[in-house]
Chains A and B, each alone.
Chain A
């Protein structure tokens, strides 16, 4: 089925409202730029981000190495570009996984009274640990690897999504259209799928952007502590962690990857904020 012209029309209208605030537009442009570079660059250039060059160690930023070189003579900018793929992948997978699981749990807890207390007590228990501490414990169990970091972060952020989704579901459950559907004899799973889930979309979308940003930050923190991604994979976190001992002599080795993290995380949160304003006009007025 092709989307009808009116779909595009509506999409344009929505986007126009979303980008009415210039910062949201700027944030969207930054994210698109970072994502396209991350996807396209490795196709057009086969420069190896792990290529060593002992004679070029710790060079300050210059015409040949725009962001300088690190302690092994690797080009910092090239590694940031390659690192973008991994950092974005971690953010995306974590956000998708946590939102998928969290929505399911939150919806069940909010909709079925019997499940509410047991599910939410487990959520409470998991949320009584600081994020980073739970992350450390989980990665040390699972072992240091790219996929294990993502799995650990999914486990860390799922309870947060579940809590938000449950709160919204509790409100939705009492609304008239749900009552009406029930009175008409609509099956429970269809009520959840067709009537509850579509109305959860706005909090879910906001959560996706925020968890995306948090996951990029959390990966950096875990890699810094040595319980994250293995050092040979260039993520923005492992780059800073790897060059730690050279911060005095070659500040650019830790500065540039950090800027990449801040810029991306900030843009994601700005975008999330914009989406929240768009989808919930009432919230904009009061908060």
Chain B
């Protein structure tokens, strides 16, 4: 077991190293000089050269990469070119809306997705099953920003139930915050429930085929008891996994929704940084988002080996 875990950990470290290289290459291949953007039209060539030297942008690329990685290993994400503060601080300031949004949205996705997927599995092949499959596919076919715009028109402009954009002023109460997050969370939750529905249905069906379910039926247990005690309980592990993965993907995948609703979150930070070529912010944010994804994956694998000993044995 120890060997399997170490191997998995090693794999994750390699992936993270590749992510760092990828992120660095992505930002440095981009056209456009951040320093020229930063200093504006009035800057002289000498000003620009001096600023470039100040940010280390005059060094050869391998040296820049080395310096960046060196700082990273000391836990330092660098300094933003535009925001006059460290990248880590900018990230932390933006983390709250994104984190709450992701949690809220995963909650909605689970509330919609798990019961729908269960119903589809229990009545497999029925009209219910087909309707649920259709709805799941519809969820995967709707552009998030378009659904956002429609919900804004309906619930914010016409009905006035929820605010159309923003995150409230800094003194807003938790209730006001949640009401700001309601519509964006609804968009992300509904659209992501498609995956949860499919996953719940598939894992329930997997377990419905197991011998112990047949045994339970044979000894005459009521169908409801079988579903809840035997099927759902065992299907819960993969379902919780996919909820975790959805959460991980959402932390960076809220970009479009944050833009529609003008939420000051991490996604918004990245988009602005990309448009301004704020290298340190792009690099730092992308790296952190990818790292969160890799670590959630790793954590899920570890938990699996604890829960299900068969996985350790099957591991090469």
Contacts and interface: CB of A to CB of B under 8 A. Distances in A.
A and B interact physically: yes
Interface of A: 23, 121-122, 124-126, 128-133, 136-138, 140-141, 143, 213, 217, 220-221, 224-227, 237, 240, 244, 247-248, 251, 254-255, 258, 261-262, 265-266, 269-270, 273, 286-287
Contacts of A248: 153, 157
A287 B18 contact: no
A248 B252 CA distance: 29
A265 B30 contact: no
A106 B32 CA distance: 35
A221 B153 contact: no
B143 A261 contact: yes
B18 A125 contact: yes
A286 B209 contact: yes
B254 to A, nearest CB: 9
Contact of B274 (A23, A137, A224, A273): A137
B152 interface: yes
B255 interface: yes
Interface string B264-301: 00010011001100000010001001110110000000
A51 B31 CA distance: 33
A266 B206 contact: no
B142 interface: yes
In this complex, which of B22, B143, B152, B274 has the most chain A Cβ atoms within 10 angstroms of its Cβ?
B143
In this complex, which of A131, A224, A286 has the most chain B Cβ atoms within 10 angstroms of its Cβ?
A224
B253 A130 contact: yes
Contacts of A251: 153
B231 to A, nearest CB: 15
B205 interface: yes
In this complex, which of A124, A133, A240 has the most chain B Cβ atoms within 10 angstroms of its Cβ?
A133
Nearest to B143: A220
Contact of B11 (A121, A138, A237): A121
Interface string B237-265: 00000000000011011011001100000
B289 A130 contact: yes
Interface of B: 11, 14-16, 18-19, 22, 26-27, 29-31, 130, 133-134, 137-138, 140-146, 149-150, 152-153, 157, 201-202, 205-206, 209, 249-250, 252-253, 255-256, 259-260, 267, 270-271, 274-275, 282, 286, 289-291, 293-294
Given A124-B15, A136-B274, A262-B138, A287 B143 contact: no
Nearest to A139: B274
Given A140-B30, A141-B26, A251-B153, A227 B274 contact: yes
Nearest to B255: A132
Contacts of B249: 130
Contacts of B30: 140-141
Nearest to B140: A269
A286 B15 contact: no
A200 B199 CA distance: 24
Contacts of B27: 137
Given A248-B157, A261-B146, A266-B137, A224 B289 contact: no
Nearest to A210: B140
Given A121-B11, A140-B274, A248-B157, A225 B137 contact: no
B146 A220 contact: yes
Nearest to B19: A125
A138 B271 CA distance: 12
B154 to A, nearest CB: 10
B202 A287 contact: yes
Contacts of A221: 143-145, 256
Given A133-B253, A262-B146, A287-B205, 11 more contacts: A128-B19, A129-B19, A130-B252, A133-B252, A136-B255, A137-B26, A141-B31, A244-B149, A248-B157, A265-B140, A266-B138
A220 B205 CA distance: 35
In this complex, which of A121, A129, A217, A225 has the most chain B Cβ atoms within 10 angstroms of its Cβ?
A129
A270 B255 CA distance: 27
B271 A225 contact: yes
Contacts of A143: 31
B206 A136 contact: no
Contacts of B22: 125-126
24 contacts: A121-B18, A125-B16, A125-B19, A129-B293, A132-B255, A137-B26, A138-B26, A140-B275, A141-B31, A217-B143, A220-B145, A224-B143, A225-B271, A226-B275, A240-B149, A247-B153, A258-B146, A258-B150, A261-B141, A261-B143, A265-B140, A266-B137, A270-B137, A286-B209
A249 to B, nearest CB: 10
Query: A-B pairs with the 4 shortest C-beta distances?
Result: A130-B253, A125-B18, A265-B141, A258-B146
Contacts of B205: 286-287
B293 A262 contact: no
A141 B286 CA distance: 15
A217 B270 contact: no
Nearest to A213: B141
Nearest to A266: B141
A140 B274 CA distance: 7
Contacts of B153: 247-248, 251
Contacts of A265: 140-142
B253 A121 contact: no
B149 A141 contact: no
A206 B133 CA distance: 17
Nearest to A243: B149
B106 to A, nearest CB: 14
